[in-house]
Structure 1
Amino acid sequence: MEKINRIIRPHFLILFLLLAFSCNTDKDSTFQNTSKFKKEHPNFSSKLENRIKHIYKDKELFGDFIFAVVDENGLAYSFAINRDILNGKKSSLDNNSPIYIASSTKAFTGTLLKILEQKKLLDLNKSLNEYLPQLNYNDSIDTKKITIKSLLNHTHGTFSTSMTWKTAFLGYSGKNEELIHDLNADFLYDPSGKYRYSNVGPIIAGMVVESVTGKTWKSEMNDYIFSPLKMENTSTNVSDYSLKDIRPSLTVSKERQIIEKGFYKKDLTMHAAGGIISTINDLSKWLSANIREDHILLDKNSWSELHSSTTPQNKDYFSYYRNGYSLGWDIAEYQKEKILTRFGNLAGISFHMSFMPDKKNGIIAFSNDNRAYLLPHLMADYAYSLINGLAADSIFKSEKPKFDKSFDRENEISYPKDSQLLIQSNITDKILGTYQNSENWPIISIGKKDNYYTFRWGILDGKIYTKEEDGYFSNLGVLTRDFEIKNDSLLTGSLIYKKMKE
């Protein structure tokens, strides 16, 4: 045993030294880059941070706001604020805090499919029929005309309500077979080939990944993107984190009360269109790789298609004019500069990721107060204007009214009060039970807690409230759902559920 230890210990020592050297090198590189940025933009931090602090105080914001500037060398600047930090208290919010990036996941998925094409494991111009023949839309759609590229750039034309709701909110068995069944049985189709944004295409593309590689989208994301870029605190699974560490969604009322607080995703609802949790430090590695078009992931030609429009779109969002879509990025224009953006939202969470390829700089921003969902975009614009030497304060003044208007609109939303709770009684106990839908939607369960009732739909649950007219509703965090119960039938929207016998 002593001999084995003498042999092994030097190897452990070498490994430890290599890891320590690598970590120190990363830290030194980041320090040099942030120091360089500060020297080149000496007034940036004070101007940006004063703006954010003023908004926080003026709007009496809750939750977190975290912001980063990234260039071709990595993280150049970062700033985090919440009520604790603003009041000089200790906070766990920093560059290593896990944040949900929602639909920004689509840029990662597009990159993964491009990597697999470069490795000749698939061809984006080949058809869905070739890679996933079991998805046939009940033989009503010619899937030989749907390419893998069209799945990524939202021109495939298909949509399924049940598949979308299960993957985004409610959960399901976790098996592709169930989703394919839903797509075949419940779908809409637009054969025009026009850009129509949804989660459906990237999720199907994730199934294609599994079909051609034998490994899940989640596994391949780790092997081909997270690991090569050393994104060690990034995952496609909620269970890889302590739930208390993930920055939650916040729903805030005009009375300055937190109505709902939580993170409403499970492993089952982390998918190829919205299924990544990461950190500012890790995301800066990803965004920097895109800015410099790093050969670690792709060659120059592959990056070119990934960052160029593959289909037109014509849409204004906040201050950005979107004229195209690549394989995962919106191709847009801001202040006469080309900018690639990919945003994401869930309940109160708002995530911004963008970069200007010609200027070689980009922005990451996150907030989680539902009333301030435009704040990441407003502050990204201010940062770009400061960095690029534009009239930043004047531009900010012209854009802020859009933020104020959206904030006021969200702030005026009325939320249920405890007086509206459906209180337990012998009469209302008849609604208790489990309800099943014949079209394979997740089960609904109504139960008791304390003196009120609970509504559980798939993985979501919430309190039951009474409506002013007949019926009930439940706030499930990411959505509010109306329903009514007649005899042994529960009706919600167009869905009919039947009470299961005990």
Structure 2
Amino acid sequence: MERLYQIIKTYFIILFLLFLSSCKTSNNSTNKNLRKFHREHPDLSSKLEAQVKNIYKEKRLLGDFIFAIVDENGLAYSFTINDTVLSDKKSSFNNDSPIYIASSTKAFTGTLLKILEQKKILSLNKSLNNYLPELNYKDSVDTKKISIKSLLNHTHGTFSTSMAWKTAFLGYSGKNEELIHDLNTDFLYDKSREFRYSNVGPIIAGIVLEKVTGKTWKSEMKNYVFDPLKMKNTSAYVSNYHLKNIYPSLTVSKERGLIKKGFYKEDITMHAAGGIISTINDLSKWLSANIREDTIILNKNSWLDLHNPTTSQNKKYFTYHRTDYSLGWDIAEYQKEKILTRFGNLAGISFHMSFMQKKKIGVIAFSNDNRAYLLPHLMANYAYNLLNELPADSIFLSEKLKFDQSFKKENEITYPKNSQLLTENDTINKIVGIYKNTENWPTISIDKKDNYYLFKWGILSGKIYRKEEGGYLCNLGVFTRDFEINNETLSTGSLIYKKVAL
């Protein structure tokens, strides 16, 4: 027994040493790449950081800005700016701090479905009817003509408001049967089947994945993407992180300053179109794998399908002319260079991920002050122009005009004043209670807390304010919602809720 114990002990010591050696090798490789990039671009960091610092001071930005440059070898450069850093203090946030990447998740989902096709678990060319016949849209849509590929590239033509809101904002039972019911009973259909961007297609593709594999989209993402790329701090579960460590959303205005701060996602609203939390270090592994088309997760032909057009579009966003869409990336042109982009937004969070295939260089950028949602894109452009030896400073000045305009517009949004806060009195107390909707939307509750009232809709909640023209409103973080209450009926938008007896 003693000899067996020694053998087992030695075995685990060897494993531990191998693990330490692997970590050391990985860190050395990253540091080597950082040094190499700095030697090749000695002025880039000072120019980039000076521009961001100037914007922070000029606009009096709150929150955080994170920026990284990635090449085929991994992370090449990164920096973080916030009030703490500007005060010459050490920030608690670093390259291993969790970031919500919002709709950039779609590129991951497209990759996951392509991996499953490569493994012959499913086919992107097969129809929705083939895999999910219970989704029939009241037999008014021919789902035999909707392929899984069309779900990923937004040409399926279908939309459901209730399904989209539940999965992105409000929450639901967690059962796919509920989402399928919503799609079957509350839907729109565009017969042209032209490119129409939304969360719906990738979410349905995730439901198909779960039907075929018997496993969740979240677990399969870990098995086939996160683990092979050693993305150890990446997850589709909010519950895998301490909430205080996740970069929050900030809602800010010129008149009121900081209006609201928080992270408005839970496990139930982390979905296949916007449901991944990661870090700069992990995302650099993902983006680098795309840049070099790493065969760890896909073969070369599969990468071609992921990065090449599957449908056309003709849209302009900021400075990017989007011409096509792949299985998860917008294909655009910037300064006569082809660029693949995947952006994401939630409340104040703005996330940028892009790469230029021919140049083998990419950018990750993040900000969380709602007024500065164009900042990640503005600074990504500046970095690309410096790297491509274009007149970066003059281009920056012209592009910053668009940033200034959008900032001014967001900064001047008016929010309810403290004097409008709904406070306690006997008449108002009558609105307290639970309200239910007959069309399967999440329950609304109104509760009194201290001397004010809270409106809770699904997983979201916010203080209630009086509208000057009558009725009420509340800021739920991801959006502001108006509502009225007459007798026992609560109406918000076109939705009608009835108060229920306790």
SS at match of 2:81: strand
Match of residue 155 from structure 1? 155
- The residue that corresponds to 2:210 in the other structure is 210
Looking at structure 1, the residues matched to 125 and 243 of structure 2 have their Cα atoms a distance apart, in angstroms, of 40
Residue 79 (structure 2) aligns with: 79
Amino acid in structure 1 at the alignment position of 2:479? L
> Aligned partner of 1:408: which letter?
K
1:390 aligns with 2:396: no
- Count residues in correspondence: 502
- The 2-side partners of 1:450 and 1:253 are apart by 26
Moved segments of 4+, more than 4 Å: 1-4
Structure 1 position 417, deviation (Å): 1.4
Q: For residue 267 of structure 1, what is the aligned residue in structure 2?
A: 267
* Local SS of the residue matching 1:294: coil
Match of 2:103 in 1: 103
Q: Using the alignment, how far apart are the partners of 1:262 and 1:67 within structure 2?
A: 21
SS in 2 for 1:296: coil
Q: Work out the CA distance in 2 between the residues paired with 1:68 and 1:91.
A: 17
Q: SS of 2:34's equivalent?
A: helix
Q: For residue 397 of structure 1, report the CA deviation from its aligned partner.
A: 1.1
Matched with 2:143 is 143
- For residue 439 of structure 2, give the secondary structure of its aligned residue in structure 1: coil
Q: Deviations over 1:36-89 (max 9, x none)?
A: 100110111111111111111111110000000000000000011100011012
The residue aligned with 2:331 is 331
Q: Between 362-371 and 468-477, report the one with greater CA deviation.
A: 468-477
Instruction: Indicate if the aligned counterparts of 2:420 and 2:465 stay in contact, CA closer than 8 A.
Output: yes
TM-score by length of 1: 0.99
Q: Are residues 1:8 and 2:25 paired? A: no
Give unmatched runs, 5+ long, in structure 2: none
Q: Percent identity?
A: 74
Q: What is residue 277 of structure 1 aligned with on the other side? A: 277
Query: Could you tell me how far 1:469 is from its partner in structure 2?
Result: 1.6
Provide the residue aligned with 1:183 in structure 2: 183
Q: What SS does structure 2 have at the residue aligned with 1:165?
A: helix
- Tell me the residue number matched to 2:53: 53
Separation (CA, whole Å) in 2 of partners of 1:73 and 1:59: 35
Distance 1:464 1:385 in 2: 47
429-438 or 83-92, larger mean C-alpha shift: 83-92
Deviation per residue, 1:277-323 (Å, 9 max, x gap): 00000000000000000000111111001001110000111110000
**1:432-465 per-position Cα deviation (integer Å, ceiling 9, x unaligned):** 1000000000000000011011100000000000
Residue 128 of structure 2 is matched in structure 1 by: 128
The 2-side partners of 1:134 and 1:29 are apart by 50
Q: Which moved more, 1:85-94 or 1:302-311?
A: 85-94
Say if 2:342 and 2:353, in contact at 8 Å, map to a contact too.
Answer: yes
After superposition, the C-alpha distances for 1:301-354 in whole angstroms (9 at most, x for unaligned) are 110010011100001111100000000000000000000000000000000000
Whether the 8 Å contact between 2:255 and 2:412 is mirrored in structure 1 is no
Give the whole-Å Cα distance in 2 for the aligned partners of 1:485 and 1:223: 48
**Deviation sequence 1:403-453 (CA, Å, 0-9, x none):** 000000000011111110111111111101000000000000000011011
Residue matched to 1:448: 448
Spell out, residue by residue over 1:167-186, the C-alpha distance to the aligned partner (whole angstroms, 9 max, x if none): 00000000100000000010
Aligned-residue offset at 1:266: 0.2
DSSP-derived class of the 2:32 partner: helix
Q: Is the 8 A contact 2:252 2:370 kept in 1?
A: yes
Q: C-alpha distance in 2, partners of 1:193/1:484?
A: 37
Who is 1:35 aligned against?
35
Shift of 1:7: 2.3
Structure 1: where are the runs of 5+ without partners? Answer: none
Point out the more displaced range, 389-398 or 149-158.
389-398
RMSD in angstroms over aligned alpha carbons?
0.8
Distance 1:405 1:451 in 2: 39
* Structure 1 residues 256 and 387: CA distance shift in structure 2, 3 A: farther
SS in 1 for 2:482: strand
Q: Is the 8 A contact 2:255 2:414 kept in 1?
A: no
Q: TM-score, normalised by structure 2?
A: 0.99
Match for residue 304 of structure 2? 304
Q: Which moved more, 1:406-415 or 1:89-98?
A: 89-98
